Structure formats: structure tokens, C-alpha cells
Structure 1
Amino acid sequence: MKAFQITEPGVSQLIELPAPEPAPGEVLLRVRCVGFCGSDLNTYRGANPMVSYPRVPGHEIAGVIEQLGEQVGDGATEWSVGQHVLVFPYTECGECSACRRGRPNCCRYNQTLGVQRDGMMAELACVPASKLLAADGLSPSELALVEPLTVGAHAVARGEAAAGEHVVVFGAGAIGLGAIASAAYRGAVITAVDIDADKLALAQKCGATHTINSASEDLAARLAELTDGHGPDLAVEAVGLPATFRAAVEIVCFAGRVVYIGYAKEAVSYETKLFVMKELDIRGSRNALPVDFEQVIAMLRGGDFPTPEVVSHHGTLNQAGDLLASWAEAPQRFTKIQIDFA
């Protein structure tokens, strides 16, 4: 079977691998659609410290069950050949402090598909049946979009966004759009912040009430205007720049919450008195929980999310390398790339 591999920084290729056979408790999937993630871009650029090479990427997955391994069907969920599914791509040890506290999404020993272990950008793949999720009625493109949207949804859940609250989201890329859509699903008022007019227009279609182009508008003044001078209740950072890390703390209201999804590319210096003066809750957000997947699936079933516009580029497995290289050269041109398997 064919698979796509990032061989070393800046180099990718199609390779031939033997077709896998499902072990007991596993299913064999025929892959239908896989999305490229920002972690894949960092792997290609040589900027992902969790990756060793070569690596098959792919953890945003839609597939069809091709074969059931032994002992599949013994659990609470019955699976069947021909069923369309998506994959929960994280592992958990069950024993570390995070797992014991019911937060396996940030398991100390987590291994995400396509990052610490090979992913599923291949024609066939085996996966434990316990990691499958059904989402009847969603297209392959929507199924593959669930996982990246859950990352933003989990950040909004970490920030405890509530109906009527004002939420500001820094960054209108795929992850930021997931946060925007999730906050809107909860009934919040959302302001999207970006420097790209097209991405801000897309943010509005995903549920943003207001937009701010921080390259041409005064961010603090505009947010003060929109919040009667108080600042937003919750700030979600989905960019990963020191400037936006600081801005989230500076513009959020007193007794507000800040949630960081992005990794800053360098050390961040703060005016730490704001942490104390405002008595802020500052939280990190990593991956997602099953409940986040359930929420995003329900949101997509509602039919209001603009999937065809959020997925800015489609390609075949043969085009995967060129698309990844183009994304690395001009990231502002891309929101989400999905590879479709015939």
C-alpha cells in the first residue's frame, strides 16, 4: 500500500508499506480523508521537538471499516464492516497524575498519531476499536475536520465560556476557528482577532460576532469599546507569538480567564503584576477529550459550520508533498489542507 512520509526536514516522499493486519481488538480501516495539522507543518520544517524521522503524519482521520479483528464487538459499541468512522488519535497511560485526575488528554506519556508514532496518511491502517468514534451523517471531509475543531473546543471548555460572556480569540486559523465555533455554540459573544481580512471574514461565518484586524486597528481600544471598558471575560490564544501571549493578559478583564493553545516560538516576557492585580486564571489547553469530540460532532450535524470554506485545499496522496511544501512557503494562503483517498 502507499503511504506519505516526511523523511527529514524539508523532504517528503510516497513509500510502499505492507498492508497491515488487525490484531485482536483492532479494526482495519480503509482511509478516506486525512487532514494536515500544524504539527505536521512543524515536522516538515524541522521545528517539532516531539518528532523523530522518518515519520508518517496524519491524525485528522476519516475512514471506513474494512475488517474486524478478533474480539472486536465484545465492548459496548458494535462495529461493522463498511461503517464510516473517525479516530481518537491520542494514547493515555492511565497512571500518571493527569490520567488519575480524569484529564488523559494531557497524559504525561501521550503519543499522538503522526507525532510521537506513525500516523495514518496511508491507504490502510489498523487502530484499536476503542479509539473509533461514529458520526453518522457526516461526510469524510467533516469527519476528518472533527479532531482539529476539538482542539479549539477543548480550549473553550478549559476557559469555561458561558452564554452571554465575551470571548476574544487570537488567530483565525483552523484551531482558532474551532474555538470560535465552539464559543458560539455555547452562546458567547465572540471577537476574532487576526491580521488577514479573508480569515476574519471566515471567522464571522464560523460564529464570530465582531472582528478586529490588529494590523490596522487599535486592539485594546476596540475591545474596550466592545466590552464597555471592561475587557473580554475570556481570551483564547491560538497563534503562538509572544505578542499575542502578552496581549491576552493585557486585554482580558479583571477576574478574567486566559487559555493558551499555541506554543510560543520563543520565551515570553510578561508584566506579571497583571496576573495578581486582575487575579487571572491562566490555563493551558492540550489536545481534547471525548466530550469535546461529541460536542463538535453535534455542532457539525447542525449544518451551520462552513466546512467547504474552512478546508481551503484538497489534494490526492500524490499531491500531498507539493501541498505541504507550498504551505511551508506561504502559510497565510492556507487554512486547512485535506488529502482525499480515492
Structure 2
Amino acid sequence: MKALLLHEPERASVTNVPEPVRQSGEALLRVRRVGLCGSDLNSYRGRNPMVSYPRILGHEIAATIVEIDAGHAPLAVGMDVTVSPYTCCNQCASCLRGRKNACQFNQTLGVQRDGALAEYVSMPVDRLYPARLDLKSLCLVEPLTVGFHSVARGGVTASDTVAVLGCGGVGLGAVAAAAFEGATTIAIDVDDDKLAIAQRAGAQHTIHSQRQNLHEALQELTGGRGPDVIIEAIGTPATFRAAVEEVAFTGRVVYIGYAKEPVSYETRLFVQKELDVRGSRNAQPEDFRNVIRMLEAGSFPVDAAVSTMVPLEDAPRVLAEWSANPAGFTKIMIDLDDTHSRG
């Protein structure tokens, strides 16, 4: 079967690889669409410390069940599903606490193990989520769950004002999740197009932080108190600090992004404000179910969120173009519907 293989940094090609062999407890999936995210770009550029080469990329999946054992209702052959791309060991501290999304020994599809940019994959049935969605929406479920999980980590309720730093794919999920909970939601970015999409995803207010003073704008929107929750979805030292500086007293800060260098803080703010500072990693099953519920309700701008759709054979080219011009793309999806050779 054909697959997109990343041989080494900046060298990818569509090549033939062995078809997967379905094991007991797994379903064989015909891959229909795969979305690309920032971790795929970092892997392509050689900047992802967790990836090894060669590697088949891809963990944002829309697929159709081809083979499955009996006894896994409601899952059945012919059903469209998305996939949780994580593994868990069931023995580390995170797993024993029921937070398997943060498993110490997690292996994510397309990073520590081969991903889904191939004609077929075989996946454990407990990682599959059926939904009444078109393929484009189904392919957006996984990236949106990361933002939804950050909102869950922040304990967001309808009485909160939530500011989201960064409106890329993950930040957009956080905006949508906060709005879906009924919170007053503020989207912050330096890109007008991303801010416009964030408004369509539910943000009541936007701040262009290059043209507006972030502190003054947040103070004005919150009556001088600051947001109750700030979610950081960029990953720079400046935005890591801004989250702590701008959040309200006794507020909650949730970090999704990784800063690429050490971050220096005014630690007085942690104590003086009595902050809850929380990390957010991957997603839990309820996050998948909540995203599906939101998308089925039609309350997310799916078409606006996806900028590029290409067939598998064009994936190496679009990866190179994305690497050369990251700002020129929002969400890239690879369409495999015309690729399949089996049967």
C-alpha cells in the first residue's frame, strides 16, 4: 500500500509499505483524510525531539471500518470513525489516576510510532469514535480535542471570562470549547484571518496583540480584573509570562504549548495572586465525545478552518511549501480517497 514516509528531516516521499495485519481487538481502517499539525511540521523540519526516522506521519484521522470482530457494537463495517492517536501503559502514575492522556510512556501515532498517512491502518477498537459527520469535520475532531481538554483542565464554566493566547488549530479548539461551555471568550492573535475564524468559532471579543496593547485591552474587557482563565496555545516565553501577568487574582492558567527555551518568571505573582497553573496534554475520551457533539450541532466553522486539501501524492510538496511559509497555511488535510488499491 502507499504511504507518506518521512525518511529524514526535509525528505519525504510517497512509497510502498506493507499492509497492516489486524490483531484481535483491532479494526482495520481505510484511511480517508488525514490532517497535518504543528508536530508534523516540526518532525519534517527535524525539530521534534520525540520523533525517530524513518516515520509515517499522521494522527488526525477520518477513516472507514473495513474489518472488525463481532461484539463491538455500535462499531461496524462501513462506519466512519475518527481515532484517538495515543497509547497508555496502564501502570504509570498518570494511568493509575485515570489520566491516561498524560501517560508517562505514551506513543503518539506519527511520532513515536508510525502514523496514519497510509491507505490502511489497524487500530484498537477502544480508540475509535464514530460520528455523524462529513469527512472534513471528522478529521478535525482530534486537533480540536486538545483545545477542549485545556478548557476542561481550566475548570471553565459559563460564569468565567476566558482568554486564549493563539488561534492556531489548538487555540481555536480552546476558543470553541470555552464558548461551547457558555464562557465569555476572548481570542488573542496577530493574524486577522485567524481572529475572524475564532469569532465564528464563538469568541465574543478579539485582540490583535500587535496593534493593541494586550494589558489595556484585557483590563477594559474584564472591568479591570483580568480574565478568570488564560489558556496559552502559542509556546513562547513572552506568552508564558503574559498568561501569569494578565490572569485575574486567584485565576487559572493553562499551558498547552511548549516554550522552546527556558522561561523566567516574576514568581511573586504565583503566590500573590494564588494562581492555579496547570499543564494540558493530549485529550481524554470525554473530550472526543464533546467535540463530536459540538460538530454535530454545527456550531464550528469547519470550511473556514481548513485552508488546503491535497491528494496523497502531493503531500511531500505541500510539506515543503508549509515549511517554507508556515504563515501561509492554517489546516492542511491529505485526501486519500483516490489512493486506495486494495480490493
TM-score by length of 2: 0.97
- Structure-2 residue corresponding to 1:261: 256
Alignment match of 1:104 (pick from 100, 105, 109): 100
Q: Distance in 2 between matches of 1:82 and 1:176?
A: 33
- Structure-2 residue corresponding to 1:39: 39
Q: Distance in 2 between matches of 1:131 and 1:193?
A: 33
Considering only aligned residues, what root-mean-square deviation do their CA atoms show, in Å? 0.9
User: CA contact under 8 A between 1:64 and 1:83: conserved in structure 2?
Assistant: yes
- Structure-2 residue corresponding to 1:91: 87
Alignment match of 1:199 (pick from 184, 191, 194): 194
SS of 2:177 mapped into structure 1:
helix
1:42-95 CA-to-partner distances (Å, cap 9, x unmatched) read: 101111111100110111111111122xxx3335x3432111111111111111
Q: Distance in 1 between matches of 2:215 and 2:241?
A: 12
Q: Distance in 2 between matches of 1:325 and 1:247?
A: 33
Kindly state the Cα deviation for residue 18 of structure 1 after the two structures are TM-superposed. 2.0
User: CA contact under 8 A between 2:226 and 2:248: conserved in structure 1?
Assistant: yes
Q: Distance in 2 between matches of 1:324 and 1:160?
A: 36
Kindly state the Cα deviation for residue 31 of structure 1 after the two structures are TM-superposed. 0.5
Kindly state the Cα deviation for residue 143 of structure 1 after the two structures are TM-superposed. 0.9
- 1:133 has 2:123 as partner: no
**Equivalence map 1:204-283=2 (5 Å):** 204-283=199-278
- Structure-1 residue corresponding to 2:341: none
Q: Distance in 1 between matches of 2:67 and 2:179?
A: 39
Query: Structure 1: which 5+ residue stretches go unaligned?
Result: none
SS of 1:253 mapped into structure 2:
coil
1:107-132 CA-to-partner distances (Å, cap 9, x unmatched) read: 00111111110001001111111211
User: CA contact under 8 A between 2:75 and 2:130: conserved in structure 1?
Assistant: no
Alignment match of 2:295 (pick from 284, 297, 300): 300
User: CA contact under 8 A between 1:73 and 1:79: conserved in structure 2?
Assistant: no
TM-score by length of 1: 0.97
- 1:15 has 2:5 as partner: no
SS of 2:65 mapped into structure 1:
strand
Count residues in correspondence: 337
AA aligned opposite 1:299: M
Q: Distance in 1 between matches of 2:140 and 2:320?
A: 21
- Structure-1 residue corresponding to 2:143: 148
1:127-181 CA-to-partner distances (Å, cap 9, x unmatched) read: 111211111x201111110000000000000001110311000001010000000
Deviates more, 1:23-32 or 1:112-121: 23-32
- Structure-2 residue corresponding to 1:73: 70
Query: Structure 2: which 5+ residue stretches go unaligned?
Result: 338-343
Q: Distance in 1 between matches of 2:70 and 2:98?
A: 25
User: CA contact under 8 A between 1:6 and 1:12: conserved in structure 2?
Assistant: yes
Q: Distance in 2 between matches of 1:305 and 1:152?
A: 13
User: CA contact under 8 A between 2:154 and 2:254: conserved in structure 1?
Assistant: yes
- 1:290 has 2:271 as partner: no
AA aligned opposite 2:35: G
